[in-house]
Structure 1
Amino acid sequence: MRVSVFGTGYLGATHAAGMAELGHDVVGVDIDPAKVARLSQGEVPFYEPGLPELLSKHVSSGRLRFTTDASEAADADVHFIGVGTPQKRGEYAADMTFVDAVIETLAPMLTRPTVILGKSTVPVGTAARLAARVRELAPVGDKAELGWNPEFLREGFAVEDTLRPDRQVLGIDRDRPGRVEAVTREVYAEIIGRGTPFLVTDLPTAELVKVSANAFLATKISFINAIAEVCEATGADVVELADAIGFDDRIGRKFLGAGLGFGGGCLPKDIRAFQARATELGVDQALAFLREVDSVNLRRRQHVLDLAVRELGGKIDGRTVAVLGAAFKPNSDDVRDSPALDVAGRFHLMGANVKVYDPQAMDNAKAVWPTLTFAESMMDAVADADAVVVSTEWKEFREADPAVLRAHSHGDLVIDGRNCLDVEAWKAAGWRYRGMGRHAR
C-alpha cells in the first residue's frame, strides 16, 4: 500500500520505518527541512536502538522517503498522523496545534477515497472533531474517513513495539464505519497474521485506551514510591517488598521499581492532559487521584537531594556530586522532564559542583542545562566526587566495577536513585550505599 506518515519525530520516524519494513511504500512528511534532510540520508536525529539500521535499509531500497511537501503524500491509500501533542505552556492541557495543522493541510488535498489514522495521543473527543473537519474540507467529502490507532511505544524498544506489538487498537466511527477497519487490517496484515490481538472499538474508547494505560502505569510507579517513603520511615526494604507482592498475578512485578520516578515525553504530560480533559468534561473528581500520583513522582526528586545533604553532614554547597545519567530512562537520549537531569540541576542550584555523565544524552542535556559540568566518561565523572548519584539505570552503570570507581572517588557515598546496583558488591568495595526505600544495613 501507499502510506504517508505526518510527523517524523520519535513516533513518526519509527512508524514510517516500520511500515516500510512491513512492505509498504512510505513517505514521511515534516515541516522541518533539517530533520527531513537527515532522515533522507538514513540518519536518525535521536537515539533509538535498531532504528538507524531499519531506516537506512529502507531509504536505500527506495521504499521509504521523506519530504516537506505535503502534496507529495496526498495520493496515499492511508495517512498516519504521528505529530506531537505537548503540554500547553502554563496549563495541564495538551496542545493540539500540530494535529490540527495536519488535518488543515492534508484534508483539502484528498481527491480520492482515503483513510486517515491518528496515532498521536489526544484528548478524548478529538477524533470525532477531526473526522467532521475532514469531511468538511476534503473534496471527496465523506469518502475521506478517519480512525484512531493509538501507539504504545516504549522508548528503547520502539522498533520491537512497532513490528511486534502486544495489541493493535482501532477506533472507528460506529455511525460511519466505512472502509476504515478493512484498510487498517490490510496495513497490519502481517502483524495480525502472526496472531497479534486486533481490537476494534469506537473513537472515544480508542483515545482513552492510551491515556488510561499511561495513567495506570504512572499510578503503579508512584504507588511503589509512596511505599518506599514508608519503608524508609520504618526500616523496611521496598525491593524485597515489591518482590513479595509482585508474585501476586493480580499485581505483577513490572513497574514496581522504586526510585526517582517517571519522566519523559509521555507519562507526565499525558496524566496532566487527562486531568485537564476530565475537568472540561465535568468529571474532574474521577481523576483527582492523578494529582497525588504526580505529586509523589515529583517528590522523589527532592528526596534524593535531602538524602545527599543528610549523608554529607548537612552541607552540599561546594561539594562535588557525580550524577550518572541524564536521560529519563536507559536506551534513550530523551531528557524531556527527566528526573535524572532535574536532580543534577537541583544539586547545581544548591551550590554543588555537579559532574554529569550519560552514554547517549549528553548533547540534549547540555542544551537544557548548559551551566552544568559534563564529564567525558563515567570515570571522569566520579573522579574526586564526594558523592555519586546513579540517576538512570544504564547497563554501563549497573555493571560498573565498584572497586575501580571507589579508587577514583574522593568520598564513599553512593546514592542508588534507581535501586539498580548490586548492593553487597558496592558495600564490599567500601561504598556507603543508600538506596531509595532500602534499609542501610
Structure 2
Amino acid sequence: MRMTVIGTGYVGLVHAACMADMGHEVLGIDRDADRITALSQGRVPFFEPGLHELLNRNLKSGQLRFTHSLAEAARFARTHFVCVGTPQQPGSHAADLRFVDGVMDELAVHLRDQRGWCLVVGKSTVPVGTATRLADRLCEVAPHAEVAWNPEFLREGFAVHDTLMPERLVAGVVSPRADATLREIYAPMVHAGTPFISTDLPTAELVKLAANSFLATKISFINAMAELCDAMGADVVTLAEAVGRDPRIGRPFLQPGLGFGGSCLPKDVRALVARAEELGLGASVAFLREVDEINMRQRLRTITLAEQLAGGSFSGRNVAVLGAAFKPGSDDVRDSPALAVADGIRCQGARVRVHDPEAADRGRAVFPGLQFTLDVPKACEDADVVLHLTAWPEYGGIDPTELAMVVRRPVILDARHTLDAARWRSSGWTFRAFGRPSPGDPADTGPSESPRR
C-alpha cells in the first residue's frame, strides 16, 4: 500500500522505515530541507539501534523516499500518518498542539483537490478530544477525508523491534473502512498474533497517556519505597524483587534509581493531569502530581547524597558523571535526569566531566557548561566522587580496580542500581545506592583517597 508519514522525528522516521520494510511504498515528509537531504542520503539524525540499516536498505530498494512537499504527499497516497511532536507548552503542563494543528490544516488544503476517500491517521500523543476536533476541521475543508488515531508505544533503544513486533495495535476509528485500512497496513503483525484493538477516537487517544502514567507511577512508587528503605535499613532491590513476583504487580518498571525522563513520560503525565483539570476532574488524577513530584525529588536527593559523598561541599571538587542520555540505547537528552543532576552540581561549584557513549554531542549542545568526553578514565580523572546516572551496559564492565587508580577518591553513587556493589567494594570503593544498606564500606570518617594517591 502507498502511504505518507508526515514528520521524520523519532516516531515518524522509525514508522516510515519499518512500514517500507514491510513492503509498503512510503513517502516521508518534513519541513526541514536539511533533514530531508540527510535522510535521502541515508544519514539518521539520531541514534537508534537498527534504524540506519533499515533506512538504507529501503532507500536502496526504492520503497522509501523523502520530500518536504505536503502537496506531493496528498497526490502520492490516500493514507497519511501524522507523526509530529506534541511537546509540553512553555509555562504550562498542557500539550502544545501547534504542530499537529498546523499539519492538519495545511494537509486539508491539499487533500481538498484530491478525488476519493482518504484517511489521515494520527500517531502523535494528544489530549483526549483532539482527534474529534481535528476531524471536524479537516472535513470542513476536505469532506472526503477521515481521521483515525493509532498511538505508538515505542521504547527508545528498541523502537525498530517495537514497531515490527508490537505487543498490541490500537486503532481509534469512526468507520469500518478506516478499520479495514489499518488492518491491511498492519496485516503481517495481525497474522503473527499481535492483538488489534479497534476502538473509538477518545479511547485511542487516552491509551497512550494512561499507559505512560501507569508506568511512571510504578517508577515513582519504588523510588518512594527506596526513601523508606533508607530510613528503615531495608533493601529496596530485594523489596522490588519480592513485590514484583506478584503477577498482579509485575517486576518491569519496579526499578529504583534516578527516576524517569525523556520526551514521553514526564510530559504525558503532566498533559493527562492538565486535560483532566480542564474537564473538572483534577481530583481523580491528583495522585499523578505526586508521581511527578517524587520523580523530580529523586534528582535533588541524588545531588544531596553526591554532595555528602564529595565531602560535604561541591566547591572545588571534581565530579565524574557516567551517562548523559535519559536512558541507555539512545542519544536523547530531552529532560535527562542525568544531565539535570550534572548541571545542578556544576551550579554549586563543582567541575563536572560527563561521559556517554552516544549522547555527548547532544548533551554538549544543551549544557555547554559541562565538560563531555568519550573516555571513561578521562571523565573520572581526579574525581572526588563518581556518579552512575545512565544504565549503559558498558558501565557494568568497568574494572573498579583500574578506575581507582585514576580518581582522587574511590567513591561512587550508583543511581541506577545496575552495578555490582560487592565487586566495587572489594576493590576499595565506597559504594552507595538509594534504598540499600552499605555494609563493608570504609569507616564513616570520610572517603579514602585512591591507591594512586
Q: TM-score range by the shorter chain?
A: over 0.9
Secondary structure of 1:147's aligned partner: strand
CA contact (8 A) 1:172 1:203 kept: yes
> Is 1:114 paired with 2:118?
yes
Secondary structure of 1:433's aligned partner: strand
From 342, 345, 367, the counterpart of 1:344:
342
CA contact (8 A) 2:215 2:253 kept: yes
Partner Cα distance (1:228, 1:82) in 2: 37
Partner Cα distance (1:293, 1:67) in 2: 41
User: How many pairs align?
Assistant: 435
Tell me which residue corresponds to 2:81: 80
Tell me which residue corresponds to 1:14: 14
> Is 1:129 paired with 2:127?
no
Q: 1:219-234 maps to which residues of 2 (within 5 A)?
A: 219-234=217-232
Which stretch of the first structure deviates more once superposed, 399-408 or 356-365? Answer: 399-408
CA contact (8 A) 1:115 1:179 kept: no
CA contact (8 A) 1:155 1:332 kept: yes
Structure 1 residues 95-123: Cα deviation after superposition (integer angstroms, max 9, x where no partner): 00111111111112221311111100000
Partner Cα distance (2:5, 2:436) in 1: 46
CA contact (8 A) 2:325 2:390 kept: yes
Secondary structure of 1:272's aligned partner: helix
How far off is 1:376 after superposition?
A: 3.2
How far off is 1:27 after superposition?
A: 0.4
TM-score by length of 1: 0.98
Partner Cα distance (1:242, 1:299) in 2: 20
How far off is 1:403 after superposition?
A: 1.2
How far off is 1:42 after superposition?
A: 0.9
Partner Cα distance (1:228, 1:25) in 2: 50
Partner Cα distance (2:84, 2:40) in 1: 18
> Is 1:254 paired with 2:252?
yes
> Is 1:308 paired with 2:306?
yes
Q: Which amino acid aligns with 2:121?
A: L
How far off is 1:178 after superposition?
A: 4.5
Structure 1 residues 290-332: Cα deviation after superposition (integer angstroms, max 9, x where no partner): 1100000000011111112222331211100000000000000
Q: Which amino acid aligns with 2:88?
A: Q
Secondary structure of 1:156's aligned partner: coil
CA contact (8 A) 2:212 2:268 kept: yes
CA contact (8 A) 1:387 1:414 kept: yes
Q: Which amino acid aligns with 1:58?
A: N
Partner Cα distance (1:303, 1:293) in 2: 15
Partner Cα distance (1:137, 1:180) in 2: 19
How far off is 1:133 after superposition?
A: 1.1
From 384, 387, 400, the counterpart of 2:385:
387
> Is 1:95 paired with 2:123?
no
> Is 1:317 paired with 2:325?
no
Tell me which residue corresponds to 2:268: 270
CA contact (8 A) 1:156 1:332 kept: yes
Q: Which amino acid aligns with 1:20?
A: A
How far off is 1:84 after superposition?
A: 0.2
Partner Cα distance (2:153, 2:211) in 1: 9
Partner Cα distance (2:234, 2:11) in 1: 40
Which stretch of the first structure deviates more once superposed, 70-79 or 317-326? Answer: 70-79
Structure 1 residues 392-418: Cα deviation after superposition (integer angstroms, max 9, x where no partner): 000111221111111211111100010
- What 5-or-longer segments of structure 2 have no aligned partner? 440-453
Which stretch of the first structure deviates more once superposed, 307-316 or 148-157? Answer: 307-316
CA contact (8 A) 1:94 1:269 kept: yes
CA contact (8 A) 1:321 1:354 kept: yes
Structure 1 residues 42-64: Cα deviation after superposition (integer angstroms, max 9, x where no partner): 11100000000000111111110
Partner Cα distance (1:107, 1:312) in 2: 58
Which stretch of the first structure deviates more once superposed, 394-403 or 208-217? Answer: 394-403
Partner Cα distance (2:244, 2:286) in 1: 26
Tell me which residue corresponds to 1:329: 327
CA contact (8 A) 2:309 2:385 kept: no
Partner Cα distance (2:307, 2:369) in 1: 21
Tell me which residue corresponds to 1:159: 160
Partner Cα distance (1:91, 1:189) in 2: 40
Structure 1 residues 210-262: Cα deviation after superposition (integer angstroms, max 9, x where no partner): 00000000000000000000000111110011011111111111001110000
Structure 1 residues 75-102: Cα deviation after superposition (integer angstroms, max 9, x where no partner): 3121001000000000000000111111
From 196, 199, 220, the counterpart of 1:198:
196
Partner Cα distance (1:241, 1:41) in 2: 50
Tell me which residue corresponds to 1:181: 179
Following TM superposition, the consecutive aligned residue runs of length 4 or more in structure 1 with deviations greater than 3 angstroms are none
Partner Cα distance (1:137, 1:171) in 2: 22
Tell me which residue corresponds to 1:418: 416
How far off is 1:373 after superposition?
A: 1.3
CA contact (8 A) 1:330 1:393 kept: yes
Structure 1 residues 12-32: Cα deviation after superposition (integer angstroms, max 9, x where no partner): 000000110110000011111
Q: Which amino acid aligns with 2:173?
A: I
Q: Which amino acid aligns with 1:67?
A: T
Over the aligned positions, Cα root-mean-square deviation in angstroms equals 0.8
Tell me which residue corresponds to 1:38: 38
Tell me which residue corresponds to 2:294: 296
Q: Which amino acid aligns with 1:293?
A: V
How far off is 1:371 after superposition?
A: 1.1
Identity %: 56
Partner Cα distance (2:330, 2:219) in 1: 19
> Is 1:23 paired with 2:23?
yes
Structure 1 residues 348-396: Cα deviation after superposition (integer angstroms, max 9, x where no partner): 0010010101000011101111011112311111111110000000011
CA contact (8 A) 1:145 1:178 kept: no
Tell me which residue corresponds to 1:60: 60
How far off is 1:165 after superposition?
A: 0.2
Q: Which amino acid aligns with 2:279?
A: L
Tell me which residue corresponds to 1:243: 241
Partner Cα distance (1:96, 1:81) in 2: 12
Partner Cα distance (1:430, 1:25) in 2: 58
Structure 1 residues 157-215: Cα deviation after superposition (integer angstroms, max 9, x where no partner): 00000000000000112xxx151001101111111111100000111000000000000
